[in-house]
Amino acid sequence: METHPRRTVLAAALGAAAAAATAGAAQAHGDRGAQRFAKRRLKAMSLEEKVGQLFTVYAYGRTADTQEAADVAKNQETHGVNNAAELIAAYKVGGIIYFAWSNNVANPDQITGLSNGLQAASTADGGDPLLIATDQEHGLVVRIGPPATQLPGAMALGATHDPGAARDAAVISGAELRAMGLNVNFAPDADVNVNPANPVIGVRSFGSDAEHVAGFAAAQVEGYQARGDLAATVKHFPGHGDTEDDSHTDLPQIDHTYEEWQEVDAPPFRAAIDAGVGAIMSAHIQFPALDPTLTPATLSKPILTGLLRDELGYEGVIVTDSLAMEGVREGYGDDRIPVLALLAGIDMLLMPVDLDLAYNAVLTAVAEGELTEKRIDESVLRILCLKYRLGLYDDPYADPDAVAEIVGTAANLEAAQAISDRTTTLVTNDGTLPIPTDGGSVLVTGWGETTTNVLTAEFTKRGFSPTRVVTGIAPTQAQIDAAVAAADGKGFIVVSTNGVAANPTQVDLVKALAATGVPVVALGVRNPYDIAYYPDDVNAYLATYSYAADGLESAVAVVLGHRSPEGKLPVDIPRADDPGSVLFGFGHGLSYE
Residues with a catalytic annotation lie at 321
Residue 78: closest CA among 360, 352, 339 = 352
| Secondary element (H or E) of residue 279 | strand 279-282
Interatomic CA distance for residues 541 and 530, integer angstroms? 9
SS3 71: helix
Task: Determine the residue type at 351.
Answer: M
Distances (CA, A) of 274 to 219, 260, 301: 11, 21, 22
| Cα angle for residues 573, 166, 560 (degrees, 5° grid) | 60
Sign of CA dihedral 90, 93, 95, 101: negative
Written as one string, the DSSP assignment of 545-574 is SS--HHHHHHHHHHHTTSS------SS-EE
**Residues 165, 5 contacting (CB under 8 angstroms):** no
Residues whose CB is less than 8 angstroms from the CB of residue 22 and which lie 6 or more positions away in sequence, other chains included: none
Rounded to 5 degrees, what are φ and ψ at 131? Answer: -80, 125
Residues whose CB is less than 8 angstroms from the CB of residue 54 and which lie 6 or more positions away in sequence, other chains included: 94, 338, 342, 347, 348, 349, 362, 376, 379, 380, 383
Residue 442: closest CA among 455, 430, 425 = 455
Residue 6: closest CA among 143, 142, 162, 137 = 162
If phi over 0 gives left and psi between -120 and 50 gives alpha, with beta otherwise, what is residue 319? beta
Half-sphere exposure of 103 (CA within 13 A, CB side): 18
Residue 409 CA, chain-centre distance (Å), reads 22
Residue 179: closest CA among 234, 123, 124, 107 = 107
Residue 543 CA, chain-centre distance (Å), reads 19
Residues whose CB is less than 8 angstroms from the CB of residue 173 and which lie 6 or more positions away in sequence, other chains included: 136, 138, 149, 151, 185, 223, 224
Interatomic CA distance for residues 91 and 381, integer angstroms? 18
Residues whose CB is less than 8 angstroms from the CB of residue 558 and which lie 6 or more positions away in sequence, other chains included: 424, 426, 433, 434, 542, 564, 565
Interatomic CA distance for residues 19 and 15, integer angstroms? 6
Distances (CA, A) of 231 to 21, 191, 559: 16, 18, 39
Rounded to 5 degrees, what are φ and ψ at 150? Answer: -100, 120
Residue 532 CA, chain-centre distance (Å), reads 26
